[in-house]
Structure 1
Amino acid sequence: KKNISQKKELKYFETNQLKQFKDYLDKLPNTFRNYYHKTLYDTLLATGLRIGEAVALEWSDIDLDNGYIDVNKTIVWSRMETNSPKSMAGYRKIPIDRNTVLMLRLYKARQHQCFIEHGYGGKMAEHVFSNGLHAYPSREGLQKTLTKHLKLAVLPYLTLHAFRHTHASLLLNAGISYKELQQRLGHSTLAMTMDTYSHLFDDTEKEVVNFFEKAMANL
């Protein structure tokens, strides 16, 4: 009963909603604040990182030459400090696509320029999603900004975790295996991944029938 309830409550961007949201973001004024949040959303979407893992990232954790992110810590929100991941499975290296690599390269250069212009300390520039004044933004502040953007984009309320669910949905529909998804998301068990996301793609149910028909035809 618990699993069924969790599945009903799982919220993520539908394909048309994701396109609508990205179109909205692309039309925003080209301020660093907008650029910052757009980069955060795109990073969450491209990696499936938990928001605490993303906010904890330092540039030394991202290998832009070889295209991967080394996840080795997360934020403890109550203390605004980093700590080790929830489990050993949380330690992982996530490959990232070329567009995401390019996006992060451009963002890093603009962040550096912005911090110099405003006189922010060099220490702040070590943190990927520092706002210049603090190493780590607050979860409440990030959610408040996302809620504002969703409202302006005429989309329903979603949490920051929706990007992780959307990432999983996109990959499953593209054909990734549950085992690969488990490792990418940092789940402790395969059962956790399957219980959480097995209902996110309906088309595969039809594919199963097609596979059976082909198997029978080959007898």
Structure 2
Amino acid sequence: MIHALNKRILQYGVTMQAIPSNPARDVVLPRNTQKAKRQKVKHFENQELKKFLAYLDNLDSDRYRYYYETTLYKFLLATGCRINEALALSWSDIDLDNAVVHVTKTLNRDLEINNPKSKASYRDIDIDQATVSMLKQYKLRQTKEAWKIGQRESVVFSDFIHEYPSSSRLKKRLQTHFKRADVPNIGFHGFRHTHASLLLNSGIPYKELQYRLGHSTLSMTMDIYSHLSKENAKKSSIILRNCTKSTIGGANLKINISRQSKNPIAKIQ
């Protein structure tokens, strides 16, 4: 901040011809080590994930709000999408026949559709059949609920009130569910980190993880998640076995990586 102020003052001196050049332009500031230290990535550990999923499965699915929220949370866990990428999705963006989610847009703070965060954020995310089945059932339920109020919905996670739902309002509900489930408040982005953690546990290469998450550079992916792979190396032999009793999309939680196709396929079953 002080450097920026000095730079502006000296530049004014150049403009007024009081000095020939601005020496502050050549100053290279040392990296802020405090800022460089990343906060620990918030994500669910294995037992916490199982606990939260069990909590969701015990909610009254006859209440549409609970059904909607459960589907949204499980979708985020299954895809690793950013919350505003998920909220911007239309049904035309999801190819249920070929099990692919096309990410081509995001939602801004004004609830307007924008281009994705970066060029790398344009991507196709393969989903497993359990998630496809979950989305098909949800689409039917959404259609029935919309008919009750004389509406037709094309937005996947529409709240029937606004064209696109607000992540800030949904965040409050999520915090309530975390509290009731007695699990850490990892926020919406924590679902994305949990997704990445599961993939790392399964042995997915960082390059494939980079593509699936839509990171611009491989170094970004490694900077964020390298410590997770180190932590998980000690427990990788047992973590997937312990996960098999949890459910996402109505079946057991497992990770299978297909290296036959261009994109990694995280099958959360």
TM-score using structure 1 length: 0.88
Question: 1:156 Cα deviation (Å)?
Answer: 2.1
Counting matched residue pairs gives 202
Higher helix share: 1
Matched with 1:185 is 213
Structure 1: stretches of 5+ with no match in the other structure? 208-219
Q: Does 1:76 align with 2:94?
A: no
Corresponding position of 1:151: 179
Match of 1:204 in 2: 233
- Which residue of the partner structure matches residue 104 of structure 1? 135
User: 1:18 is matched by which residue type in structure 2?
Assistant: L
Say which one has the larger Rg.
2
Q: Which runs of 5+ in 2 are unaligned?
A: 1-32, 237-269
> Structure 1 residue 139: deviation in Å?
1.4
Map residues 22-37 of structure 1 onto 2, 5 A cutoff: 22-30=53-61, 31-37=63-69
Pair 1:206–1:57, CA change in 2 (3 A) = closer
Residues in 1 aligned to 2:149 and 2:122: alpha-carbon distance in whole angstroms: 35
* Residues 82-113 of structure 1: CA deviation (Å, up to 9, x unaligned): 11011110100000011000000000000000
Identity %: 53
One-letter amino acid matched to 1:197: Y
Partner in structure 1 of residue 47 of structure 2: 16
Question: 1:117 Cα shift?
Answer: 1.4
Cα distance in 2, alignment partners of residues 21 and 4 from structure 1: 32
2:18 alignment partner in structure 1: none
Report the CA distance shift for 1:204/1:139 in structure 2 as closer, same or farther (over 3 A).
Answer: same
CA distance in 2, matches of 1:172, 1:134: 37
TM, length-normalised to structure 2:
0.72
Distance across 2 between alignment mates of 1:206 and 1:136: 40
Counterpart check, 1:87 vs 2:118: yes
Alignment-mate amino acid for residue 219 of structure 2: A
Q: Secondary structure at the match of 1:126?
A: coil
- What is the letter of the counterpart of residue 180 of structure 2? L
1:165, distance to aligned residue in structure 2 (A): 0.2
